[in-house]
Structure 1
Amino acid sequence: MKFLLSILLLLLFRNSGAQSTGKPEHSAAVAPVGLVKQAIAANSDYQLTRRNPSDADAWLGYYKWVVQTRDLSANEKLLQQKAAIAQSAAYIGSTWQFSLINFIESGKRDRSLLKAALNMAADKSMIYPYAIQHAIITKDATLLHDYALALNEVNPLPAELFEYHQNVLQSAPANAIIFGKGLTDLVPMAILQTVFGIRKDIRLGYYEERPADITNTFICLSAGKEVISNYPRAGYAGLLVQLEGAQTDPELQQMAARFKLYQLLSQDHFSDIAIHLYSNYLPTFILLYKSYKQKNPMEAEKWKALALKIAGMSGKVEAVHKMLAS
């Protein structure tokens, strides 16, 4: 079990930036360029806010970067988030971007801010994913249905992402709970369930803290190493992490038989987003290779070839070769 999780952490997160443990460098606001961390000063959206403080898109981009980056400590993130809101208010306070920033700051719970952003934005496709997360957080099935349909109408999932997220859902057994956090995991799965009726037996949850009951509970890989490492009994389960236990070889093989891999098999060029997501297949394909190696060499070679194809796309050839040989 620990071996499976170590494969996950080493292979999937080996290039992830570690969080800084430094103290905030300025306590009043987004600090002058000479005082901020180098990563902040180098951020293109941050630079745009310095040159043009009325650029609402730049403020939104910078705020989202602060929330998502691994280059800042938790304290630094909070400092920069609040500072960005305080400094931008005088310039973009009446824009949908400012409402969305404050909605995210509310933990994606303040529906009035969400509605304000939706009412003001001409292009609502950027806001619908957050609305879907809000519906999942608040367990509002009606809102989830409406926002999923609306997003799919204006911005349908590309075929490669449709296939990938369908396989994420297929990684879980019947009536499982899948927790996610990013826009790139919960939102596509919600669309597949709501619009296309795929795996509606699964309940989706927004990950904020350790669930009280982790029976038949899974978490998306996008939760990151810091979250996954909190579950020492967790095991790899296809494109998910099972919080308690790990799949046996027969379970792994049965799950893989449910995967749809047409896009992966038939294409040689993929978007950057697809390449990033496809890297998540690597532990499964490596484990399948090992599980078939002795009893079914031909099947083993199929999974090895797929693992090496993805490794070539994602720059992980050396690491994958080592794990295939171990």
Structure 2
Amino acid sequence: MSLEEIFAFHRQDVGPVRYVEPIGGWVVTRYADVARVLTEHAVFSSDELRYSAQPVPHGSNPLLRSLSATDPPRHHALRRIVSQVFTPRAVSSLEPLVEAHVGALLAAAGPTFDLVGEVAGPLPVRTIAGLLGVEPVRWPDFVRWTEDITSFFGAFTADETRRTAFHAAVGEMRACFRAEIEQPTGVIATLARSGLTADEVLDFCALLLVNGHETTTTLLVNAVLCLADRPKPADLRPAVEEVLRYLPPTGGTDRFVTRPTTLGGQELQPGQRVVAMITAANRDPDVFADPHTFDPDRTANPHLSFGRGVHFCLGAHLARMQVRVALAALLDRPWRITGVDTRRSPVGVDVRKVALATNRRC
């Protein structure tokens, strides 16, 4: 798939709320409707295990018990505790470490390298491992655990190979993080002493590992795709925000109706699934001027890529910082894209490889 085809695939127009039989839920695309779904947690819950009227074959996934799948009031209590990991001061203190990781990864890359496998994938793994105090020997396991956990959902749970890999990954991951709870210092041990149960600490670590890894990796890859063949932006901050709007790391997110309600003129019933299409909402012409054009200098940019309301992404600042640091280093050296390997997914396009050619000049 070419860059033009990738961009075209994400060109989604907004429309009325509609029920889509193959996915068994209501698809929401208008900015105002998506924002409402993301904000009104009392009506549109993140707790699939509690509210879904349909069986949840991936119910053993630890992400379904984590902060992102918990509603207030318990959500507020959990978030107050774990948010200490992501204060602006804490994130800023990690920037020198991120710069060192980026430098080491680029130094190890050859004149032609795979952005996904050699830079964008390893970077958040190293950052999260450093944040949690996990030794480098575990870094490859972080990647494998993420892949095995995220590939186990819906109909894929019937695949015996995926099921075996999933349970092995969850077991290994929990054992690794449980050992960290017993340490006298470190983020995980601190959280365990801050009022969280051991299971809540482990579920938060799983959320941080899986979502933090995938979001940052995809955002960095998408930024490189969007900025290819363009002059280096004078300010990377609005450029990263425009990547988040134009080619977001997450195409959509699920919510579950808790009580009868009306959305976009449609009557929704308790237990029904609602798919909030962030990709489409980010291109709503009622909110964004010239929505299908990538503008790295766009200023008014209230995109929904990190969510809204109580579930606004806790690690948004960390993801932005990592991508900004990596982009600055990449854009300081001439490079060009020589190949892209993609795979279709239910809500977008997964970019599996991006071949870059560079002259390694620093």
Do they fold alike, i.e. is TM over 0.5?
no
More helix by share: 1
TM-score, length-normalised on structure 1?
0.29
Q: Which has the higher contact order (CA 8 A, sep 6+)?
A: 2
Query: Taking structure 2 as the reference length, what is the TM-score of the superposition?
Result: 0.27
